[in-house]
Amino acid sequence: MTEKKNVVVVMPAYNAAETLEETYRSIPADCVDQVILVDDGSIDNTAVVAQELDLDLIIHPHNAGYGANQKTCYMEALRLNADIVIMLHPDGQYDPKIIPDMIAAIREGKGEFVLGSRFLPPRGALAGGMPRYKYMANRFLTGAENLVMGTKLSECHTGYRAYSRDLLETVPFLRNSNDFAFDTEMIFQAKHFGFRFAEVPVSTKYFNEASSISFTASTVYGLKTLWVAWRYLLHRLKIWQFDLFKPTHRGKADAPRSLSMNHKS
């Protein structure tokens, strides 16, 4: 019999008032125990809308950044004894209906880090309206990251992710950036500490209310992604050591974890 795990959905929010309620009500309630929303100093009515929903609301007194928002999300989820934590953006871009598939991937031992991929099947992102320049940049960066890590992920830049508790307690995510580079750092940290990846296909849609960053911001993000990859290489080759990849007090060694991990089933 499968042992029940406490599943918490975290929603890092910034100016998501127009899309929050619809996204929240699309979450399959029968497989999620709790929903946390962290409002990162929104200047719209995100917090007001959230207060009308059955979720836990945390409000940052000022805008701290996408990465800082996630740090609050994960710390609160761990405090609430979550075994599986799913990050879902409240902007309506990703389909909440695949949450059971993401949970199953962790429960069945397929991986401790599950990515909701917009590129399974191929061209799925373009069909959902992803701008072509973002599509090309995603393909290039994902290819570079796969090359550095020795992985075969279809996408490294999805904002739809699920983590096991073990991963969040091991990876030193509080040392990560407070901006969009946080997501890339999480992937390289997970790889460094020996956690496995799984992917679940997800449909996506782009529209005016969905979160998006400008071309200039996207370029800066791409450069930061390559910088994370470079630091990962330097650390693994023991040329230069970075706190990003050093173990916490829980870690036993600055080396990949054994993949012969025990999974409850």
**261 part of a folded domain:** no
Strand partners, 115: 161, 199
Q: What is the pLDDT of residues 131-175, one digit of tens each?
A: 888 889 999 999 999 999 999 999 999 999 999 999 999 999 999
**156 part of a folded domain:** yes
pLDDT at site 109: 97
**1 part of a folded domain:** no
pLDDT band, very low/low/confident/very high, at 2 (cuts 50, 70, 90): very low
pLDDT at site 242: 97
**252 part of a folded domain:** no
Q: Poorest-confidence range of 92-106, 110-124, 140-154, 204-218? A: 204-218
**211 part of a folded domain:** yes
CATH of the domain at 11: 3.90.550.10
**145 part of a folded domain:** yes
pLDDT at site 265: 30
Number of domains in the chain: 1
**234 part of a folded domain:** yes
pLDDT band, very low/low/confident/very high, at 264 (cuts 50, 70, 90): very low
**169 part of a folded domain:** yes
Range among 5-9, 205-209, 254-258 rated most confident: 5-9
